[in-house]
Amino acid sequence: MKKTTKFLLVLIICFLSGRCVDKKKSSSETSSNLFEFTILQLNDVYEIAPIQNGNYGGMARVETIRKELLKENKNTLTVLAGDFLNPSLLGTIKVDGDRVRGKQMIEVMNAMNFDLVAFGNHEFDLSFSNLQKRINESNFDWISSNVLHQINGEKRKFCKENNDVKTDIKETFIKEFNFGENQKLKIGFISVCIPSNPKDYVFYGNIYDEIKRSYNTLKPKVDIVLGLTHLTIEQDKKIALMLPDIPLIMGGHEHTNSHDRVGGVTITKADANAKTAYIHRFKYDPNTRKVTFKSELKEVNKGIAFDKEVNTIVNKWQNILKTKIKEVVNNPEEIIYTANDSLDARDTPIRSVQTNMGDLITKAMSFAYKDKVDCALVNGGSIRIDDVLYGAINAIDIFKVLPYGGPILKVKLRGNLLLKVLNYGTNASGTGAFLQKYNVKKKIDKWIVNNQELIEDKEYLVAISDYLLKGFDIPFLNSKNKNVLNIYRPQKEEMATDIRKAVIMYLKNKRN
């Protein structure tokens, strides 16, 4: 009787205190209360089709990954951390009289139901009117805390215009997931863009001041704040130190995948052109407000099938591209060369130092004139792929490197003008006016051209891109300059009629 009474007394106490719960059940309930979601991250994607002879990348493959993630967890977001409208070969061609300028990318991304993108510096390669068209065509959201539309001295937010309705691009983005009755999770995103592409229509606010301001504004409204940035890794790391409560910064700008930790902040970047993508699987405990996640770097390769719907769009654009290329070369997909060392055509080096890709292009320019020139010059800004080439290379790859094409001119210059041009190109380091050169070297303070010291009153034959002679990059280098003594423009049947044709023929000859 005493034992029964004691047992009943314990049961009553447990019931009143609410503590009489089976431990195994409690653990199970805690686990089921975790809110789980997934983010698929891309950055710096310029090509909708596979690259490197079809071995890597391809947005149709990425779409297959996205759909598999949705089957795994319906609460999946797809984001891109800037740089997707330019540069691309497709963007430079004309369809129905207008250059494509990223239209192909928007069409593909709409089909893939992208959720959110950040502005990258290459978005501002486009004119304002073309950028506005692409924003209007997009079905996804854009964010930035530090870029504004500047017009007539006034600064205003970029906007999306549909049916005469203007909607401002927001500084932050909030995604709400529903996990049941009165169980919601709000995820906030903040973003800034590197101010490396100055344009008259763009105002760049201070990246650190603006992201801190947007974070402080957003944090009280959401459960989690994440970064979606387009900055250098050093800038991302500084933000991580400033905002240590952000669990993850998904970044862009660099083209090689990376995974860094600064305190409790993780910074991830995938490879350019969707060679890889990051998959972040999150768990959030609403009771403790603790966030945990695992990041997987997924290689996008030939082992992943193409999504049929997206691949149909990709093929449509690729067929348009091949038709245009065939106007210059007969077989765009023919392997013309195998590069055993990576050919560096990334923006930063090609605009600041002589690279092996610069060597190759300028040697091809000289080759186009049977090496009967003293030297060859091309502006780094004409080289637009912002990537490296390795392994099997076809004509399409060369068109991606030099999307604008144009003839190679043979120009007779007086030495004093050539000296001025070479000095200007050197001083323009970091810009598109920086010169890639062949048969030109500098020794201390002397220029050596064709193995001899440059003489100011001597005449030189120079293979030069037609763009350079228009004076856009080097203002005094134009046909009206009195020290431009003669200009030879190649005939249609000549190799020099298109710089891309010259490079292709040079590589074929080099291969043989």
Looking up residue 371, the CATH number of its domain turns out to be 3.90.780.10
Question: Are residues 377 and 233 located together in one domain of the fold?
Answer: no
For the chain, give the mean pLDDT: 92
Which one has a higher pLDDT value, 428 or 21?
A: 428
CA atoms within a 13 Å half-sphere pointing along the CA-CB vector of 491: 2
Question: Are residues 294 and 346 located together in one domain of the fold?
Answer: no
- For residue 12, is it within any domain? no
27 pLDDT tier (thresholds 50, 70, 90): very low
- Tally the domains of the chain: 2
Which range has the top average pLDDT, 31-35, 180-184, 204-208?
204-208
Contact criterion met (CB below 8 Å) for 171 and 143? yes
Give 348-373 pLDDT, tens digit per residue: 899 999 999 999 999 999 999 999 99
Q: How many CB atoms lie within 10 A of CB 94?
A: 9
Question: Are residues 472 and 337 located together in one domain of the fold?
Answer: yes
- Nearest of 190, 170, 218, 222 to residue 35 by alpha carbon: 222
- For residue 155, is it within any domain? yes
Question: Are residues 377 and 504 located together in one domain of the fold?
Answer: yes
Beta strands 459-465; 375-379: pairing state? parallel
The stretch 291-295 carries a mean pLDDT of 98
- For residue 143, is it within any domain? yes
pLDDT at 512 exceeding the cut of 80? no
Question: Are residues 284 and 345 located together in one domain of the fold?
Answer: no
For residue 70, what are the CA distances in angstroms to 42, 64, 73, 75, 443? 16, 10, 5, 7, 60
Question: Are residues 271 and 354 located together in one domain of the fold?
Answer: no
Question: Are residues 365 and 291 located together in one domain of the fold?
Answer: no
pLDDT at 29 exceeding the cut of 80? no
- Per-residue b or e along 234-247, where b marks 16 or more CB atoms closer than 10 Å to that residue's CB: ebbbebbeebeebb
Query: Residue 116: in which H helix or E strand, if any?
Result: strand 116-118
Compute the distance between CA of residue 237 and CA of residue 133 in angstroms, rounded to an integer.
34
Percent of the chain residues topping a pLDDT of 70: 94
Compute the distance between CA of residue 115 and CA of residue 345 in angstroms, rounded to an integer.
31
Domain at 153, CATH number = 3.60.21.10
- Nearest of 420, 82, 406, 76 to residue 272 by alpha carbon: 82
28 pLDDT tier (thresholds 50, 70, 90): very low
pLDDT at 5 exceeding the cut of 60? no
Q: How many CB atoms lie within 10 A of CB 391?
A: 14
Question: Are residues 265 and 366 located together in one domain of the fold?
Answer: no
- For residue 67, is it within any domain? yes
Residue after which a domain boundary falls, among 254, 284, 299: 299
Contact criterion met (CB below 8 Å) for 285 and 33? yes
Contacts of 72 (CB under 8 A, 6+ apart): 38
pLDDT at 25 exceeding the cut of 80? no
Give 51-89 pLDDT, tens digit per residue: 877 889 999 999 999 999 999 999 999 999 999 999 888
Percent of the chain residues topping a pLDDT of 90: 79
- Find the domain containing 165 and state its range: 31-299
347 pLDDT tier (thresholds 50, 70, 90): confident
Question: Are residues 231 and 123 located together in one domain of the fold?
Answer: yes
- For residue 62, is it within any domain? yes
137 burial level (CB within 10 Å; 0-12, 13-18, 19+)? middle
The stretch 294-322 carries a mean pLDDT of 97
Alpha-helix runs per DSSP H in 373-414: 395-401
Query: Residue 35: in which H helix or E strand, if any?
Result: strand 35-42
Its sign, for the CA torsion 186, 272, 113, 148, is positive
Query: Residue 26: in which H helix or E strand, if any?
Result: helix 23-32
Residue after which a domain boundary falls, among 299, 316, 349: 299
- pLDDT value at residue 32: 58
Contacts of 364 (CB under 8 A, 6+ apart): 499, 502, 503, 505, 506, 507
DSSP E strand boundaries for 152-289: 154-156, 159-162, 165-168, 172-178, 184-190, 202-204, 224-228, 248-250, 258-262, 265-269, 276-285
The stretch 333-337 carries a mean pLDDT of 91
Question: Are residues 113 and 185 located together in one domain of the fold?
Answer: yes
The stretch 479-500 carries a mean pLDDT of 96
Question: Are residues 366 and 506 located together in one domain of the fold?
Answer: yes
- pLDDT value at residue 333: 86
Contact criterion met (CB below 8 Å) for 447 and 440? yes
Quick one: tokens of 2? 């005493």
- pLDDT value at residue 7: 47
Contact criterion met (CB below 8 Å) for 349 and 388? no
500 pLDDT tier (thresholds 50, 70, 90): very high
Give 424-471 pLDDT, tens digit per residue: 999 999 888 999 999 999 999 999 999 999 999 999 999 999 999 999
Question: Are residues 449 and 389 located together in one domain of the fold?
Answer: yes
- For residue 162, is it within any domain? yes
pLDDT at 15 exceeding the cut of 70? no
- For residue 403, is it within any domain? yes
**Poorest-pLDDT segment among 26-40, 46-60, 101-115, 293-307:** 26-40
Q: How many CB atoms lie within 10 A of CB 502?
A: 27
Quick one: tokens of 115? 């959720």
- For residue 310, is it within any domain? no
14 pLDDT tier (thresholds 50, 70, 90): very low
pLDDT at 388 exceeding the cut of 80? yes
